[in-house]
Structure 1
Amino acid sequence: MKKTTFIMVFLLCVSMVNAQKSKVTGAINYLSSGKLDKAKEAIDAGMDHEKCVAWPKTYLTKGKVYQAIFESPLPAYTKLSETPLQVAYEAYLKCIELDVKNKYGKAVKAQMTNLIPDFTNSAVKFFNTEDYAGALSAFEKVLEIENMEMFKADNLAVDTAVIFNAGLAAQKAKNLEAAAKYYKKTIEYNYGEAKAYAYLSKVLADSDKAEESLMYLQKGFEKYPDDAYMLVELINHYLTGPNPNEAAEYLDKAISLDPENASYYRAKGTVFEKTNEVDKAKEMYNIALTKDPKDYISYYNLGVIQLNVAEEARKVANDIIDQKKYDAAIKNLLKLYEEALPYFTKVIEIKPDEENSISTLKELYFKLRNEKPEYMKKYEEYKAKIDNM
């Protein structure tokens, strides 16, 4: 009886193994005929019979089915799985783990090779839809696959473009640690040129690593001294820092490379403003406007300079006790306010929705409302704009 019982249990196990294998075989057949829904149904069902046997081919087949789902041009099939590439990748890894005799090594390698462009395409799709975390994960899968033992003998070239894009995706996903890691690898492989240094510097700055951030900016400039992007990043760094005058050297370099670029002259005007060299600042803003007559920011900055002059005059007037002198000072103050009007008006002509200029014009016309009838009308016009914003 005991022997008979053993034989019955063994036969039952064999029948279950055959059932599993029949599901796998069915999935293969459905896959060959392009019936991916049936193939998925069969391989998923086959996975339920693993108590008797762990067959590497099951996972190879599962990987092929799910990879085909991703690659299918038919929406009805691509909707069968939300993460087909991840499922396929994990299935191939499981096949490798179980395939101790390396029976399916070549087949898995062929599929993994095809996963590289699949994950790359997936990453691009994620990136374009602003799912940056998804893009990062997909780019990282490409790098993981390319670094697998099975590809060592192939001496694959380092996929520097993917490393750079992984950094970019990580940066946009606010994963600053990963972004810094990939940008540093990009620089190590001499890819990305000046942008790699600039992007890494920004990531480090956002990570509160100011010294390291500046170090990479300077290294980038040393290596790419004529790169406009690198210059702009250095200029912005110093303009927003405690020593804006240090930006002057890089602005002069930028102007020598692109003398028709209005933004460089405007930036230099900002430097002069911050160092209290107002006349030089005005000169730079006016040069910027000769290069680009629609540079509304330069008009705005010139207007602010004029308002600052008026503010100083107002302070002086407030301290005057003599009525005649006070009246004369107020008359001069109103004249200074009038001289600011054209700058902000020009801003509105170029950029009609510029709120700061609209608000400033409202305040200026209010101060001047008793000087001319049209000034009161202008005040009411700009007040209405502010109220409707």
Structure 2
Amino acid sequence: MRKLSFILVMLMCVSSVFAQKSKVTGAQNYLTSGKIDKAKQAIDEGIKNEKCVAYPKAYLVKGKVYQGIFESPLPAYKNLSKTPLEIAYEAYLKALELDAKGKMKKPVKAQMTNMIPDFTNEAVNRYNSSDYAGALDAFEKVLEIEAMDMFKGELPVDTAIIFNAAMAAQKSENFEKAIKYYKQSIEYNYGGAKSYANLSNVLKNAGNEEESVKYLHKGFELFPNDSWMLVELINYYMLGGEPEKAAEYLDKAIALDPSNGSFYRAKGTLYEKTEEFEKAEKMYVKALELDPKDFTSQYNLGVLKLNMVSVKHKAANEIMDAKKYNAAIKVVFAEYEKVIPYFTKVLEIKPDEKNSMMLLKELYFKLRNENEAYLEKYNEMKAKLDGME
């Protein structure tokens, strides 16, 4: 009985072989005539019963069909599969795995050669659509193909793909792979200062502060005049609680690019941290001279001015003599009035900036008894803010 069952299975497999080969041939013919939908249907059916036969050509044709789906300009064909490239890639690998006689190497190599630009385009598209994990996967597929034995000695090291893989890994917060690929970029002298700066940033986010600083300074040694490197150094020391070190690099950045308002704005923030408020004001003013629509500098300048008046207000409140207090508070209110234009200017740059609106509301309330117009402005601002909730 067992022997009979075995014979029946073998007969079914033989039958399946003929059916499969027929479907594979049909799929190839449909593909040649440009009927990709019918080619897909045929190959999907023809490759179903893979337990009965290991047929390398079936997987080669499957790869071609699904690669054709990806490369087709027609939406009707492109929508036949969500992951055609990945399916094609796996099919080619399967064809090589089953290829005992070595007949698949040449045709698979031809298809894999075309998969390099295909996966590169896919990676770029995914990156641009913010699918960074998908972009990383596609970039890595390019690197996997280029590292195959069939291409050994034929292709140069694809440094651009390695660097792009690093950026995609960084964006997707895959720090382990980002570190790996940035270090490879540095090994191949690709990416310049960006490789060092980005690697330092990734190492810091991964919790490796010591190595992060090492690459930051190594990058600066190699690229002392690179603005990208300088910005990373400035950010590191400003955010790391060592503003005095940041000043040195900011001065160098300003000397290299005196028309870059962001450097003056950063130095204004630095002076605020060291409580050198007059110097901070000058830096914000300079930044706004270079870029009148610099929202951050305008807002920071307004807050700086407001804080300076608040200090005077606090001092006035400590005066016990009524006459001296009244004189001091009058000066304070006059100073508050001078602050208003700074925040109205912020709202010209960014009309719905809520913090500035709230600060203006408070200023109008403080000055309501000094000028009736401010009470009306207070009510208007309050109504506007209430409408935003």
- Give, in angstroms, the shift of residue 256 of structure 1: 0.9
- Give, in angstroms, the shift of residue 53 of structure 1: 2.3
Q: How does 1:371-382 map to 2 (within 5 A)?
A: 371-382=370-381
- Give, in angstroms, the shift of residue 370 of structure 1: 0.6
- Partner in structure 2 of residue 237 of structure 1: 236
Q: How does 1:65-76 map to 2 (within 5 A)?
A: 65-76=65-76
- Partner in structure 2 of residue 54 of structure 1: 54
- The yes-or-no answer on 1:175 pairing with 2:161 is no
Percentage of matched positions with identical amino acids? 66
Q: Could you tell me whether the CA contact under 8 Å between 1:269 and 1:281 is conserved in 2?
A: yes
- Partner in structure 2 of residue 159 of structure 1: 158
> Cα deviation per residue 1:62-98 (whole Å; 9 max; x = unaligned)?
1111111211122222222221111111111111111
**Aligned amino acid, residue 139 of structure 1:** F
- Give, in angstroms, the shift of residue 220 of structure 1: 2.0
- Separation in 1 of the partners of 2:311 and 2:5? 106
Query: Aligned pair in 2 of structure 1 residues 143, 363: CA closer, same or farther (>3 Å)?
Result: same
- Partner in structure 2 of residue 100 of structure 1: 100
- Give, in angstroms, the shift of residue 143 of structure 1: 0.7
- Give, in angstroms, the shift of residue 13 of structure 1: 4.5
> Cα deviation per residue 1:289-340 (whole Å; 9 max; x = unaligned)?
3333333433333322222222222322333323223223322322232232
SS state at 1:153 partner: coil
Query: Aligned pair in 2 of structure 1 residues 364, 17: CA closer, same or farther (>3 Å)?
Result: same
- Separation in 2 of the partners of 1:342 and 1:354? 15
- Partner in structure 2 of residue 287 of structure 1: 286
- Separation in 1 of the partners of 2:64 and 2:56? 13
- Separation in 1 of the partners of 2:376 and 2:385? 14
C-alpha RMSD of matched pairs (Å): 2.4
Q: Could you tell me whether the CA contact under 8 Å between 1:309 and 1:336 is conserved in 2?
A: no
- Partner in structure 2 of residue 82 of structure 1: 82
Query: Aligned pair in 2 of structure 1 residues 326, 291: CA closer, same or farther (>3 Å)?
Result: same
**Aligned amino acid, residue 93 of structure 1:** L
- Partner in structure 1 of residue 222 of structure 2: 223
- Separation in 1 of the partners of 2:9 and 2:383? 89
**Aligned amino acid, residue 50 of structure 1:** E
- Separation in 2 of the partners of 1:136 and 1:129? 13
- Partner in structure 2 of residue 264 of structure 1: 263
Query: Aligned pair in 2 of structure 1 residues 110, 287: CA closer, same or farther (>3 Å)?
Result: same
Query: Aligned pair in 2 of structure 1 residues 296, 32: CA closer, same or farther (>3 Å)?
Result: closer
- Give, in angstroms, the shift of residue 252 of structure 1: 0.9
- Separation in 2 of the partners of 1:302 and 1:17? 79
Query: Aligned pair in 2 of structure 1 residues 55, 268: CA closer, same or farther (>3 Å)?
Result: same
> Cα deviation per residue 1:122-178 (whole Å; 9 max; x = unaligned)?
112222222222111111111111111111132x11111111111222222222222
SS state at 1:82 partner: coil
- Partner in structure 1 of residue 126 of structure 2: 126
Query: Aligned pair in 2 of structure 1 residues 62, 252: CA closer, same or farther (>3 Å)?
Result: same
Q: Could you tell me whether the CA contact under 8 Å between 1:262 and 1:287 is conserved in 2?
A: yes
SS state at 1:53 partner: coil
Q: How does 1:1-389 map to 2 (within 5 A)?
A: 13-154=13-154, 156-389=155-388
> Cα deviation per residue 1:350-370 (whole Å; 9 max; x = unaligned)?
332222222111111111111
Q: Which moved more, 1:131-140 or 1:362-371?
A: 131-140
- Separation in 2 of the partners of 1:257 and 1:299? 24
> Cα deviation per residue 1:45-72 (whole Å; 9 max; x = unaligned)?
2223334321211211111111112111
> Cα deviation per residue 1:237-292 (whole Å; 9 max; x = unaligned)?
22222111211111111111111222212221221121122222222223333333
SS state at 1:273 partner: helix
**Aligned amino acid, residue 131 of structure 1:** D
- Separation in 1 of the partners of 2:57 and 2:361? 77
SS state at 1:73 partner: coil
- Separation in 2 of the partners of 1:326 and 1:3? 112
Q: Which runs of 5+ in 1 are unaligned?
A: none
**Aligned amino acid, residue 19 of structure 2:** A
- Give, in angstroms, the shift of residue 4 of structure 1: 11
Query: Aligned pair in 2 of structure 1 residues 6, 246: CA closer, same or farther (>3 Å)?
Result: closer
- Separation in 2 of the partners of 1:32 and 1:299? 64
Query: Aligned pair in 2 of structure 1 residues 48, 268: CA closer, same or farther (>3 Å)?
Result: closer
- Separation in 1 of the partners of 2:5 and 2:341? 103
Q: Which runs of 5+ in 2 are unaligned?
A: none
**Aligned amino acid, residue 111 of structure 1:** Q
